């Protein structure tokens, strides 16, 4: 099998994944597992936060523990827009994304001047500053108690109103937004900008020598990652009709880092696979063991040990072995002792 066959198998797997996600709200309730529709919705939302970590760490080489900050800005941007402006779903989503993007531009202007552990530390510091500010400003954010709101309209035209209170509308709204974000990210990482990301990740000094503005490239990646986290936060607010400052703390960012690593850093859909594995495993184990986090941690360690490239790396490896061209059987070597044809033709030939 050739590389073309691998591409066809990859496209088939992607189509199968898409069909499965489209069937979730119809098939699972029929099987008596309606609760899992909400779990799949949650997986889709959290995978975007993991994808924002992956964009920075996997494609640019910057490990951020501050993505919860932009998640929180997206969450509160959407929530406050609904509460104070009576915004609908799409307007609230836009407000949350813009709030997170603006915060990422401000934080990134300072953070991307640093690399390695210094960058990781400053992202934690930014996250803690705004976490404590949000916790103390209860008038605006509700602090630890949070803010709640009613489900906004997704569609309101010609006398027809569809809100997020409709389970199908909620699921397909989330699925559509998440799919669009992954599609945009796929275009970005395959574009010249994505090539600049890879060059900076591999060797920033050489990237400078060939004319790449390393600071600007890192800043663009940081802002894009902040926007992804903001979309995730806004969707989470709509999903729970709730926003709380407790989601802005750095351990939320840490979970996203783990999901991204387990799924496969530097791959487009790796964060989705990692998030799905750990959340599904958590839900299954938590029904039988109250200390389920030990099991989740153990599974994470096993994946990192035996699949250091993540679940996406396992898939790529299996696909590569399946589609690798088979070597032609080697011809038997000539017998050095056997006489040549000329020697056999001449009587007494030696």
* Any domain includes 268: no
Tens-place pLDDT, residues 31-41: 999 899 999 99
Measured in whole angstroms, how far is the alpha carbon of residue 265 from the centre of its chain?
A: 9
Q: What is the DSSP letter of 143?
A: T
Measured in whole angstroms, how far is the alpha carbon of residue 171 from the centre of its chain?
A: 18
First to last CA, the chain: 49
pTM comes to: 0.89
Q: Which of 123, 158, 142 is nearest to 52 (CA)?
A: 123
Is residue 257 pLDDT above 60, yes or no?
yes
The structure tokens 């836009």 sit at 94
Tens-place pLDDT, residues 181-200: 999 999 999 999 999 999 99
Tens-place pLDDT, residues 259-269: 999 999 999 99
Beta-strand relationship, 153-157 and 242-243: unpaired
* Any domain includes 321: no
Measured in whole angstroms, how far is the alpha carbon of residue 309 from the centre of its chain?
A: 15
The values of phi and psi at residue 320, to 5°, are -65, -40
* 160 bridge partner residues: 157
| Mean pLDDT of the 311-326 span | 75
* Any domain includes 174: yes
Q: What is the pLDDT of residue 348?
A: 47
* Any domain includes 242: yes
Distance CA 231, CA 251 (A): 19
- Calculate the CA dihedral of residues 215, 221, 222, 225 and round it to 10 degrees: 180
Is residue 48 pLDDT above 90, yes or no?
yes
* Any domain includes 32: no
* Any domain includes 260: no
Tally of structural domains, the chain: 1
Helical packing angle, 214-240 and 167-189, nearest 10°: 170
Q: How many residues does the chain have?
A: 350
Domain that holds residue 244: 40-248
* Any domain includes 17: no
- CB 97 within 8 Å of CB 256: no
CA angle at residue 132 from 115 to 50, to 5 degrees? 50
* Any domain includes 61: yes
């Amino acid at each position: 099998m050739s590389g073309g066959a691998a591409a066809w198998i990859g496209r088939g797997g992607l189509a199968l994944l898409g069909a499965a996600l489209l069937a979730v709200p119809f098939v699972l309730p029929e099987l008596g597992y309606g609760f899992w529709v909400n779990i799949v919705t949650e997986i889709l939302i959290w995978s975007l936060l993991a994808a924002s970590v992956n964009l920075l760490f996997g494609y640019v080489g910057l490990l951020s523990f501050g993505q919860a900050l932009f998640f929180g800005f997206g969450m509160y941007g959407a929530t406050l827009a609904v509460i104070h402006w009576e915004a609908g779903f799409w307007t609230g989503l836009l407000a949350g994304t813009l709030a997170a993007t603006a915060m990422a531009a401000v934080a990134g202007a300072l953070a991307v001047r640093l690399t390695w552990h210094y960058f990781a530390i400053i992202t934690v510091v930014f996250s803690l500053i705004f976490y404590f500010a949000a916790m103390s400003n209860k008038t605006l954010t509700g602090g630890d108690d949070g803010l709640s709101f009613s489900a906004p309209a997704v569609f309101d035209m010609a006398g027809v109103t569809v809100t997020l209170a409709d389970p199908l509308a909620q699921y397909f709204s989330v699925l559509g937004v998440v799919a669009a974000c992954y599609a945009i990210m796929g275009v970005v990482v395959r574009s010249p900008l994505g090539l600049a990301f890879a060059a900076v990740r591999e060797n920033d000094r050489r990237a400078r020598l060939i004319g790449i503005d390393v600071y600007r490239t890192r800043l663009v990646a940081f802002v894009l990652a902040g926007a992804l986290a903001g979309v995730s936060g806004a969707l989470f607010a709509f999903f729970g009709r709730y926003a709380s400052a407790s989601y802005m703390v750095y351990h939320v960012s840490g979970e996203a880092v783990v999901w991204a690593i387990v799924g496969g850093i530097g791959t487009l859909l790796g964060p989705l696979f990692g998030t799905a594995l750990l959340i599904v495993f958590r839900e299954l184990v938590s029904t039988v063991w109250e200390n389920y986090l030990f099991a989740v941690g153990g599974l994470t360690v096993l994946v990192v040990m035996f699949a250091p490239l993540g679940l996406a790396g396992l898939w790529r490896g299996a696909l590569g072995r399946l589609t690798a061209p088979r070597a032609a059987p080697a011809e038997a070597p000539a017998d050095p002792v056997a006489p040549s044809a000329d020697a056999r033709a001449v009587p007494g030939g030696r």
